[in-house]
Amino acid sequence: MNKCVIYNNIFNEPFSMPICPLRAYAEKNNIEIIQEFRPQIGIFNNLNNGFSKMISYLKNNNEINNIIFFSTGCLIISYQEYLNLMSLQNMNIHFVEQELILDDAHKDELLDIVSDNFIYNLSRRIAMNIEYYISQGQIPFRPLFGYKKIKI
């Protein structure tokens, strides 16, 4: 039986999701869950967040060869965390929602997934900031040379 860890960043409500899809996926594919990791809100130190703890746990336990994520959108990590993930040998990375499995031969696709998530989140934050400034009656950017910024 294959062994795995799951990175569960689904904050499920008891009424909306009675069964964790990550656990159901592992059971369906005959994979034994050894440990579950969750992101920790408000922790920005890379050594103490849930993802870094998962990577260090996997480095210490070589018999585990699978990581299960809910979707590719869950994979919002820094470049250093990406390099740590790439350093793991003989690791299969499962994405339940997309039904995608990345093994060692296809790990180069992981950089595309991480960069797409970063670009999407950055554009979402920029759009939110623009909406905020407009709701406050300000323009959200520096005016052209020769123009003044006047609050409405």
CA distances to 12, 54, 65, 134 from 58, in Å: 25, 6, 8, 46
Residue 76 inside a domain? The answer is yes
What pLDDT was estimated at residue 4?
Answer: 92
| pLDDT one-digit tens code per residue, 88-123 | 888 999 999 888 888 888 878 888 888 888 888 889
In a domain, 116, yes or no: no
* 60-88 b/e (C-beta count within 10 Å ≥ 16 → b): eeeebbbbbbbbbbbbebeeebbebbeeb
Q: Is residue 115 part of a domain?
A: no
Other residues' Cβ atoms within 10 Å of the Cβ of residue 128: 10
The pLDDT value given to residue 108: 80
Q: Report how many domains make up the chain.
A: 1
> Is residue 130 assigned to a domain?
no
- 109-135 and 79-86 helices cross at what angle (nearest 10)? 160
Contacts of 81-89 with C-beta under 8 Å, sequence gap 24+, read 81/46, 81/51, 81/52, 81/55, 82/110, 82/111, 82/114, 84/52, 84/55, 85/55, 85/110, 86/110, 87/59, 88/55, 88/58, 88/59
C-alpha 35/C-alpha 119 separation (Å) is 30
For 68, the domain range is 2-106
Predicted local distance difference test score (pLDDT) of residue 15? 46
pLDDT beneath 70, residues of the chain: 1, 11-19, 42-48, 151-152
Determine, yes or no, domain membership for 29: yes
Domain assignment present for 146: no
Is the residue at 65 inside a domain?
yes
Residue 122 lies in a domain: no
pLDDT at 109: 85
CATH of the domain at 82: 3.40.50.1390
